[in-house]
Structure 1
Amino acid sequence: MRALLNWWGALVGLLLILTGGLLQPAMPWWSPQAGFGFHDLPITAQVPALLLTALVCGPRSGMLAAVAYLSLGLSVIPVFQEGGGLAYLQQPSFGYLAGFIPAAWLCGRLAKQPGMDSLEHLTGTACLGVLTIQLCGLLNLGLGSLARRWGESLPQLLITYSLMPLPAQLLLCCVVGVMARLLRPLLLVNR
């Protein structure tokens, strides 16, 4: 029964990640000149979807969803931001995508620990997941720069792929923490 739940969680997680890749989150904003509006964040919702899957469904479901997403993207289905296929392994952003797997495992594993149902713990765990993705991406950028694989300079790549999306990703960790806190009891997540 547990294996079936892992597969269902992975399937739902994969669908969330695929859908999240199509959505650009926005933040409510108010200014005296323009009034109330929304400001688009410079990321998609796929990282929060992955982290939510791991926090709610556990490490196996999160990792299965991440592996399925990477498998789809590395095949001929263009689900990644800039397309797909095996050539995507040469993109500077691939390290961040590869980081989905350890991030899902870490978040899911930490969320299974006793006493991890508080909003603070779930949000902090989501932040650790983002940092795991960032570390994997930074490692890929560093190794690619040493091999002279990228056309851009390493500082420009760091700004584009790490520093620009990081504040928005950490902000969305708060949303992920709230959603996980609400969904875990509803879905009878046994921790």
Structure 2
Amino acid sequence: MATVPARSFVQSMAPEGAAARYATYGALVLFGSMLIAVAGKVTVPFWPVPATLQTLAIFVIAATFGRKLALATLAAYLVEGAAGLPVFTNGGGLAYFAGPTTGYLAGFVIAAGLTGWAADRGFDRNAFKLFAVNLLGTAIILLLGAAWIAIVFGADKALAWGVGPFIATDVIKAALAAAVVPAGWQIANLFRR
């Protein structure tokens, strides 16, 4: 007997008609990219890379949207930034991709894809499973961020600047995202009854 694949929160709530569903998805991608941008403006000062709420927003979006929409949202965010819109923490434009945050931006995409993939398989309904996936995504973000900092500033700075200041806050954000999305499922299920 074949099992029905799990659907992300957004997929389960989307309208039935194709036109309405794709219009909803388009609006959500735009909204998600704006949410990531706003979350990037909420900063705790660190140098060379500030700590922001972006990873929290990215994990919640990915777990809620699923892999395809999460990747589309991150792609929209990066295109908006490359086009010069001030969506990144310290601005926008193509030159931003040569700065110290490039590794983190790449990590955001991979982490969103991973968490979205897990949501498509039902991990978004279990806080512990989602937290484990978010922790892996956090490790990817920090690894790529540190690798880029090592290239730009030297290997001796990679851990001190690229990982150390963010471990505690990023684990907390991964846990918050893992708690919020399953709670959203529970609330939605109450209204369906």
Give the TM-score taking structure 1 as reference length: 0.76
Quick check: 1:9–1:53 contact (8 Å CA) kept in 2?
A: no
Deviations 1:41-82 (A, max 9, x none): x62111110110000110112111111111111221222223
Q: Which residue does the alignment assign to 1:10?
A: 29
- Trace 1:15-26 onto structure 2 (pairs within 5 A): 15-24=34-43
Structure 2 unmatched runs, 5+: 1-17, 45-49
Q: Which residue does the alignment assign to 2:183?
A: 182
Question: 1:4 and 1:92, CA in 2 relative to 1: closer, same or farther beyond 3 A?
Answer: same
Deviates more, 1:47-56 or 1:116-125: 116-125
- Shift in Å at residue 92 of structure 1? 2.1
- Shift in Å at residue 5 of structure 1? 4.3
Mapped partners of 1:67, 1:166: distance in 2: 25
Mapped partners of 1:115, 1:99: distance in 2: 20
Q: Which residue does the alignment assign to 2:174?
A: 173
Q: Which residue does the alignment assign to 2:8?
A: none
Question: 1:73 and 1:5, CA in 2 relative to 1: closer, same or farther beyond 3 A?
Answer: same
Structure 1 unmatched runs, 5+: 26-41, 145-149
Quick check: 2:63–2:124 contact (8 Å CA) kept in 1?
A: no
- Shift in Å at residue 187 of structure 1? 5.1
Q: Which residue does the alignment assign to 1:81?
A: 89
Quick check: 1:111–1:125 contact (8 Å CA) kept in 2?
A: no
- Shift in Å at residue 161 of structure 1? 2.1
Q: Which residue does the alignment assign to 1:163?
A: 164
Aligned to 1:137, which of 132, 145, 154?
145
Q: Which residue does the alignment assign to 1:46?
A: 54
Mapped partners of 2:138, 2:61: distance in 1: 14
Residue 112 of structure 1 pairs with residue 120 of structure 2: yes
Q: Which residue does the alignment assign to 2:80?
A: 72
Question: 1:116 and 1:90, CA in 2 relative to 1: closer, same or farther beyond 3 A?
Answer: closer
Q: Secondary structure at the match of 2:52?
A: coil
Q: Secondary structure at the match of 1:84?
A: coil
- Quote the RMSD (CA, aligned, Å): 2.2
Mapped partners of 1:105, 1:187: distance in 2: 24
Structure with the higher strand share, 1 or 2: 1
Q: Which residue does the alignment assign to 1:126?
A: 134
Structure with the higher helix share, 1 or 2: 2
Mapped partners of 2:81, 2:55: distance in 1: 15
- Shift in Å at residue 186 of structure 1? 4.2
| Paired residues, number | 165
Give the TM-score taking structure 2 as reference length: 0.75
Mapped partners of 1:187, 1:21: distance in 2: 28
Structure 1 runs of 4+ aligned residues shifted over 4 Å read: 185-188
Mapped partners of 1:66, 1:162: distance in 2: 22
Question: 1:184 and 1:154, CA in 2 relative to 1: closer, same or farther beyond 3 A?
Answer: same
